[in-house]
C-alpha cells in the first residue's frame, strides 16, 4: 500500500510540474504577441519591433515580429534600413522556411534587389 501512495504522490507531482510548464509557455506566447501588438503602435516602431522580436524568440509570434520588422525597415527607406530589412528577411526565411511569412519575405527580398540594379 505504501508503494501505491508513493506512486500516486509522484504522479501528482509530475502532473503539477506539467501544468506549470504549460502555463509558463502559454504566458510567454501571450506576452510575445502583446509585445508585438504594442510595438506596432509605438511612436518609434523599429526599436520597439526589434525588442518585440527578441521577446518573441521561440514563440509563434517570432516570425511575425520579424516580418513586421523587415517591412518597417523597408518602408523607412534608407539604405541602411533596406540592408537590415534584407538581413532580417533572409534570417527569417532560413529559420522558418515553411511559415506563412516566408513567401512574403521572399517578395520583399526580390523588391530589395531592384535597388541594386
pLDDT tens readout for residues 25-66: 777 777 888 888 888 888 888 999 999 999 898 898 999 999
- pLDDT > 60? residue 117: no
Dihedral (C-alpha) 104, 108, 110, 113: value to the nearest 10 degrees? -170
DSSP state of 43: S
Share of the chain above pLDDT 70, in %: 91
Domain spans of the chain, in order of start: 32-113
Averaged pLDDT, 9-38:
75
Q: What is the pLDDT of residue 43?
A: 84
Per the CB < 8 A criterion, the answer to whether 102 and 92 are in contact is yes
pLDDT band at 97 (very low <50, low <70, confident <90, very high): very high
Burial of 106 (C-beta count, 10 Å sphere; 0-12/13-18/19+): middle
Q: What is the pLDDT of residue 22?
A: 67
The CA R_g of the chain, rounded to the nearest whole Å, is: 21
Q: Residue ranges of the alpha helices (H) in the chain?
A: 2-41, 45-55, 62-76, 79-95, 101-113
Amino acid at each position: 500500500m505504501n508503494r501505491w501512495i508513493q506512486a500516486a504522490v509522484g504522479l501528482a507531482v509530475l502532473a503539477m510540474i506539467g501544468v506549470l510548464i504549460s502555463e509558463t509557455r502559454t504566458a510567454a506566447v501571450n506576452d510575445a504577441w502583446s509585445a508585438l501588438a504594442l510595438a506596432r503602435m509605438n511612436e518609434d516602431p523599429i526599436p520597439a519591433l526589434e525588442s518585440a522580436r527578441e521577446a518573441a524568440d521561440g514563440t509563434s509570434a517570432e516570425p511575425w515580429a520579424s516580418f513586421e520588422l523587415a517591412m518597417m525597415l523597408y518602408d523607412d527607406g534608407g539604405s541602411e534600413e533596406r540592408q537590415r530589412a534584407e538581413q532580417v528577411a533572409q534570417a527569417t526565411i532560413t529559420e522558418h522556411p515553411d511559415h506563412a511569412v516566408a513567401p512574403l519575405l521572399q517578395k520583399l527580398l526580390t523588391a530589395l534587389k531592384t535597388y541594386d540594379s
